[in-house]
Amino acid sequence: MPTLSEDLAFRGLIHQATDPDLMKRLDQGGMTLYAGFDPTADSLHVGNLLQLCTLRRFQMGGHRPISLAGGGTGMIGDPGGKQDERAMLTREVLDGYLEGIRPQLGHILDLTGPTPETAALLLDNSVWLSQLSLLEFLRHVGKHFTINQMVTKDSVRTRFERPDQGISYTEFSYMLLQAYDFLRLHLDHGCDLQIGGSDQWGNITMGVELIRKVCGDEAWGLTTPLVVKPDGTKYGKTETGTVWLDARRTSPFAMYQFFFNSPDAVVGGYLRFFSFLEHAAIEELDAETADHPERRLAQKALARSVVALVHGQDEVARCEEASAALFGEEIAALSEEMLLAVTEDAPSTDVPRRELAGGLTLVDALVRTGLAASRGEARRAIEGGAANVNNRRQADPAQVLGPDDLLHDRYLVLRKGRREVHVIRAV
């Protein structure tokens, strides 16, 4: 059984640490640690999931995790990773975002155990930040740091390098508020460790220093790599391709398909970040990917692990049934919600109901949807067995489509070959 530090190292989760001896301390258990999550949307996303999974690994290693919602810092906005000033959120919007992310913050962690000493805590920094006066903040926090220190932090320096944008005093103060969070958690809950993505390194070290200056105590910081897309760009709430934890924003099937479609180059890393599979099992999947990439066993294991973690095992079964139905006649038995989920990425064309009532030939449908470039190509596809309506192969070029072919009285799923799918919607 690997130690916690060995597990973190195997999974590539150690990016920076404030003290090399921290790894020994992690293996002893009994620490309290935290990660912060600002509510800048009504759902967390895959990038946040990495920190939640890491908190859970610490909990499994005998530590007590704190999941901190940024009800206070969310009013300010972290400048880290942003080229422009963040839009200021109203209290009402922020409260709505908090309501959305609170269940997600507690879902991955065990709030009752495994022992009373390791039971996770869910806290909100607005409890203390909303009570902190400006004078108190300046006297008890601001006095411990120099402007010289603050402008060297990456989150600030990159904005200084853009004189057309700059940084407001509001966002400039964010790192001090986060440092105060760490101090309060240290004083109130004995928290000695903060973790976060590598873009949080500057903020984390400020908190470590504040605890040392105010209390004379030792505290630590640890960062993990950022979760990046195959092209190397960061996953974030405002970038395209975001995978949300809220099923209303990203369906379980869409999440399953996202991870199932992971390129071979990143699937091993994702398995380490987001699954709790044992090391030997991950290494076996690494070998499978190298020797038999066409089987996509690692991708399947990854998709199963993430969906089960976020949405439950029952959703995994539904996703796999839907995946099979996407290419089988079972597609007709799918609920409308699942049908839309499995065809979410497919292009669609609206067709007036009166046209379907009058009869739309399959040849015309293939041309109209772009699945065939001409009527001749459409006929050849049908005669060659490559044309499917609702996953039923069609062999008659004279086939006419009508209202009886609609799924849920609205949809026709056309497919040419294995992967070219198009949805016709009756309007």
Residue-level pLDDT at 237: 46
> How confident is the model at residue 239, as a pLDDT?
46
Residue 53 three-state SS = helix
CA distance 308 to 285: 18
CATH architecture of 252-325: Orthogonal Bundle (1.10)
3.40.640.10, 3.40.50.620, 1.10.1740.10, 3.40.50.300: which CATH number matches 4-224?
A: 3.40.50.620
**pTM summary value:** 0.84
- Cβ atoms of 236 and 47 within 8 Å: the answer is yes
Phi, psi of 352 (to 5 degrees): -60, 140
How many other C-beta atoms are found inside a 10 Å radius of the C-beta of residue 420? 18
Architecture of the domain defined by 348-426: Roll (3.10)
Residue extents of the structural domains in the chain: 4-224, 252-325, 348-426
Q: How far apart are CA 12 and CA 2, in angstroms?
A: 14
Q: How far apart are CA 202 and CA 10, in angstroms?
A: 25
Residues of the chain with pLDDT under 50: 237-240
